[in-house]
């Protein structure tokens, strides 16, 4: 009898094992299918032509070609300017770049940083402990765009001081001088009810900033404290007769700008903007921003930047806008990086100055209501 039972038992065990394996495989396949279904697929928005309607008269066409190629078919605006004169060399998607502004996201941290440094709320290397194992200095907080750090600075500074520095740095007013169609952004009237000072100084909630305003602000950081009027020459004659015009000299310690620049360099070297870097001997400094602008129902990607080169130093501001999360600050930094790289490959930064006049003395202009 045992001779008959043993083969039957063995066969039963084999069948059971095969059934168990099949069941396990079926369960595993079902689990993978459910996991795949749970993955969020971010669909890219339809391609657009961001150059539609642009007027290129008076622009630096070398810069424009690089900016247009880098932006591609993404909805957004690019402003490239000379930080030492205020001349706009190119603006891609002029309609979007000149309208009334968007939530600046984490680029507002540039304002928060300068306010905190000048008010001696922190020094560059002051360590703020945010948890048992988490701490940041100003440099690393800028580089990694740490929201909790800047929320802490905002609460220490308070509403009045933050908005005062925002106004000093040109937010809430037209950045350009007699640029047709330009609309100003706006400054928060009160701390946001949800999130208070923290969300205001970390995400820019309550502010609306235009690409031109951010260009002027970043230019003042690049040049060490002069806020120029952004001017947009529209003909060869305008370019030839161009004269820089100073809106105001910022009453800030020059060391504050130097300290801020270290953090902005860190963002590109090891932080949120690594896509902007292309060559160790031509460093780029910048600040990213990613958030949702609920006033316009857009997800935003910002990058305000400048390069550290000899001739033809540039400020490049990239603003991307989409109805979904297909854009971000890091993505915007990649657009800027492509512009710098393209111009570098064309030896733009080692050129002798091209159409620049050899001597341009800036004049101080006071224009009420700007």
Write out pLDDT tens, residues 138-158: 999 999 999 999 999 999 999
pLDDT at 1: 44
User: pLDDT confidence of 364, banded at 50, 70, 90?
Assistant: low
What distance lies between CA 336 and its chain's CA centroid? 9
Looking at the structure of the chain, the number of domains it has is 1
Count the residues in the chain.
370
Bridging pattern class, strands 245-249 and 363-364: parallel
Q: Residue 237 and residue 215: Cα distance in Å, rounded?
A: 24
Q: Residue 47 and residue 74: Cα distance in Å, rounded?
A: 6
292: closest CA among 211, 204, 217? 204
Given a contact cutoff of 8 angstroms between Cβ atoms, the answer to whether 99 and 208 are in contact is no
Given a contact cutoff of 8 angstroms between Cβ atoms, the answer to whether 370 and 177 are in contact is yes
- Domain contains 12: no
Q: Residue 323 and residue 333: Cα distance in Å, rounded?
A: 19
Q: Which CATH number fits the domain that encloses residue 138?
A: 3.40.710.10
- Domain contains 23: no
- Domain contains 18: no
71: closest CA among 97, 49, 88? 49
Which distant-in-sequence residues (6+ apart) come within 8 Å of 123 by Cβ?
117, 138, 259
User: pLDDT confidence of 363, banded at 50, 70, 90?
Assistant: low
Cα end-to-end span (Å), the chain: 105
User: Domain limits at 238?
Assistant: 61-364
- Domain contains 232: yes
Percent over 90 (pLDDT), the chain? 79
- Domain contains 48: no
Is residue 17 predicted with pLDDT exceeding 70? no
**Among 36-40, 107-111, 161-165, which stretch is predicted with the lowest mean pLDDT?**
36-40
pLDDT at 46: 82
User: pLDDT confidence of 361, banded at 50, 70, 90?
Assistant: low
Secondary structure (H, E, C), the chain: CHHHHHHHHHHHHHHHHHHHHHHHHHHHHHHHHHHHHHCCCCCCCCCCCCCCCCCCCCCCHHHHHHHHHHHCCCCEEEEEECCCCCEEEEEECHHHHHCCCECCHHHHHHHHHHHHHHCCCCCCCCCEECCCCCEECHHHHHHHCCHHHHHHHHHHHCHHHHHHHHHHCCCCCCCECCCCCCCCCECCCCCCCCCHHHHHHHHCCCCEECHHHHHHHHHHHHHCCEEECEECCCCHHHHHCCCCEEEEECCCCHHHHHHHHHHHHHHHHHCCCHHHCCCCCCCEEEEEEEEEECCCCEEEEEEEEEECCCCCCCEEEEEEEECCCCCCHHHHHHHHHHHHHHHHHCCHHHCCCCCCCCCCCCEECCCCCC
- Domain contains 22: no
Tens digits of per-residue pLDDT, 275-312? 999 999 999 999 999 999 999 999 999 999 999 997 78
Bridging pattern class, strands 226-228 and 135-136: unpaired
Tens digits of per-residue pLDDT, 74-89? 999 999 999 999 999 9
Given a contact cutoff of 8 angstroms between Cβ atoms, the answer to whether 266 and 137 are in contact is no
Read off the pTM.
0.85
Q: Residue 257 and residue 142: Cα distance in Å, rounded?
A: 13
Starting at the edge strand found earlier in the chain, the sheet holding 363-364 runs 226-228, 245-249, 363-364
Tens digits of per-residue pLDDT, 19-69? 344 444 444 544 554 544 455 556 777 889 999 999 999 999 999 999 999
When computed from its CA atoms, the radius of gyration of the chain, rounded to whole angstroms, is 26
Is residue 169 predicted with pLDDT exceeding 80? yes
- Domain contains 273: yes
Tokens of 339: 């512009």
- Domain contains 339: yes
């Amino acid at each position: 009898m045992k001779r008959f039972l043993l083969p039957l038992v063995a066969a039963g065990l084999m069948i059971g094992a095969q059934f168990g394996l099949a069941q396990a495989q079926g369960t595993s396949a079902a689990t993978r299918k459910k996991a795949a279904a749970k993955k969020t697929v971010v669909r890219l928005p339809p391609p657009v032509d961001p150059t539609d309607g642009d007027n290129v008269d008076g622009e630096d066409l070398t810069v424009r070609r690089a900016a247009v190629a880098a932006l591609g078919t993404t909805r957004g605006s690019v402003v490239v300017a000379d930080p030492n004169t205020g001349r706009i060399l190119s603006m891609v998607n002029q309609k979007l770049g000149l309208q009334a502004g968007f939530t600046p996201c984490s680029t507002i941290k540039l304002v928060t940083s300068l306010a905190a440094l000048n008010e001696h709320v922190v020094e560059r290397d002051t360590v703020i402990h945010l948890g048992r194992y988490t701490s940041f200095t100003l440099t690393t907080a800028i580089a990694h765009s740490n929201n909790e750090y800047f929320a802490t600075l905002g609460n220490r500074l308070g509403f009045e001081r933050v908005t005062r520095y925002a106004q000093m740095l040109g937010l809430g007013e037209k950045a350009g001088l007699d640029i047709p169609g330009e609309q100003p952004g706006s400054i928060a009237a009160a701390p946001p009810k949800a999130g208070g000072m923290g969300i205001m100084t970390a995400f820019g909630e309550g502010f609306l900033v235009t690409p031109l305003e951010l260009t002027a602000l970043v230019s003042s950081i690049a040049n060490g404290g002069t806020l120029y009027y952004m001017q947009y020459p529209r003909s060869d004659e305008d370019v030839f007769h161009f004269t820089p015009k100073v809106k105001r000299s910022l009453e800030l310690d020059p060391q504050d700008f130097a300290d801020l620049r270290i953090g902005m360099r860190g963002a590109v070297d090891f932080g949120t903007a690594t896509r902007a870097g292309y060559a160790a001997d031509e460093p780029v400094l910048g600040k990213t921003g990613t958030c949702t602008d609920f006033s316009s129902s857009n997800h935003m990607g910002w990058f305000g930047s400048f390069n550290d080169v000899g001739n033809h130093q540039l400020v490049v501001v990239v603003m991307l806008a989409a109805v979904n999360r297909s854009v971000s600050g890091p993505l915007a930094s990649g657009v800027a990086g492509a512009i710098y790289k393209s111009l570098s490959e064309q030896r733009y930064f080692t050129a002798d100055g091209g159409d620049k006049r050899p001597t341009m003395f800036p004049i101080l202009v006071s224009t009420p209501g700007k």
